[in-house]
Structure 1
Amino acid sequence: MLLEVRDLAVAFHTRDGEVPVVNGVSLAVDAGETLAVLGESGSGKSVTAQAVMGILDTPPARVTGGEIHFQGADLLTVSAEERRRVRGARMAMIFQDALSALNPVLSVGFQLAEMFRVHRGASRAEARDRAVELMKRVDIPAAEQRVGDYPHQFSGGMRQRIMIAMAVALNPALVIADEPTTALDVTVQAQVMDLLAELRREHRMGLILITHDLGVVADVADRIAVMYAGRVVEHAPVRELYAAPAHPYTRGLLESVPRLTGRRGELPAIRGLPPSPLAVPPGCPFHPRCPLARDVCRVDRPPLYPVSEGRRSACHFWEEAIRG
């Protein structure tokens, strides 16, 4: 495996003590593979990604347990200098809000070129040429003329393409994309996802795609991990999960996706709200919202039961969930 996360735990320090926000998450992704991590806001997706990248705000956040193995090394045990060398050169991240992630007082060309000067020792002219090449690679029109423009001079979709260019500039083995299509219109979403898929195929890079939108990942993901309340509740190949979800939460997410066909009317919704990290219910965290919940769900927290080869579900009644 290119990346293997084992039993990762992250907590935030608050006035009331340490609050766990990620609880025993295990994920894996191989070269050339796309793993989609799905879940509602607050499920722990982005915190997991930041822990993998080593960019958690510490304090208040800190990793309290687990292992993060990347290309054979546990990133939680290497030195801070080695972790910095990994970021950018071997592992990169595409952030949700490109306008906030890019430096507003530096041109996009300077920000792209800086990576080649710092990590590859390129001259100023060589680095600028590489920046123009990258902008062309991600389909920025008139790249030679726009290399000196600033982030605010680009549209949202173009800024996201620049973020992708920065992420893949040094041909990293792994890219983590944290909701890269948020706030983009549907057409631009499709273009951004197609670009990520093309770059993944060209460079055989592993891709972790974090999102709450099942529709976005239908055509690009190989496997899906569904998170709820800081835990993975279902892990499955994409086709199997879409055909027959093995967890009531996953089924609720799928049923809430609008469709072009079918009956009109109000979309189904999962009743209630996700639990606060300060008050996660005992037993299965999803049981207050679950249509299959029974007494055992209120007491015993379900493990990730094996459903089939490469598929797991944290539901005591996963067989009933599959049947729908």
Structure 2
Amino acid sequence: MSTDTQFRSGFVCFVGRPNTGKSTLTNALVGTKIAITSSRPQTTRHTIRGIVHRDHAQLILVDTPGLHRPRTLLGQRLNDLVRDTYSEVDVIGLCIPADEKIGPGDRWILDQVRQMAPKTTLIGIVTKIDKVSKEKVAEQLLALSKVLGPETEVIPVSAASGEQVELLVDVLAKAMPEGPAFYPDGELTDEPEETLMAELIREAALEGLGDELPHSLAVVIEEVIEREGRTEKQGELLDVHALLYVERPSQKGIVIGKGGARLREVGTKARTQIEKLLGTKVFLELHVKVAKDWQRDPKQLGRLGF
């Protein structure tokens, strides 16, 4: 039996500057939305694992917060989380968008990865190839190859159109050790549903907000209760109560919006995504609370799940 027909399984982590397409790529590989996608830096808070099932392999995608120079205790904790993840995965994929020049930020991340995980297999991924011409893609592949060195594999991919996604799966699978599947077929993530719900609410709340908010917003699911007394025809309904924590009263006003309009919008958007995730009808109740300077307070960080 040749080694290529052996089943392979292992862990993958995508790294790159904010908005390089890491979470979108995770969702494209898994085939459903499990990672929060946003153009804001630092929107991913938890290591959400997406699970990619193929006949010949299983890939577990670990979605980390981006690496950055920390300014708060939360920032420091997020960086520690990243550092632990890098040293434990089998492959790290460095994501560089096809439509932006490789810059100092990309090089800084590459240096950090090489320092933290010198033995981990690294591959280069040129993302968003649907946004530029074939010539531009070729140029970017050459540029990235130059930065990473000749022994590192570089793959172009578009998560939006699905182009080359299966090729990427094969390349990642080949880099994995031989071994059995870690998760049963059909499981897409090992994150608790509450965590995913909180992330979806957070994503909806961050959309279209100013720069001051991303770090300062935490979401906690207070309770999830099945509504009683529903007929079979009405179907199941879950009552989900969530709290959105901000650091200052002024931020509370921003999240709620004029006459509560913004919070209602957030609720509608998040509810649609949560219903897709759970496959059941949901009544979502959101409240906004101020937890003063929670990012710098170890006690509050612990209570909010960090």
Fold conserved between structures, TM > 0.5:
no
Q: Which has the higher contact order (CA 8 A, sep 6+)?
A: 1
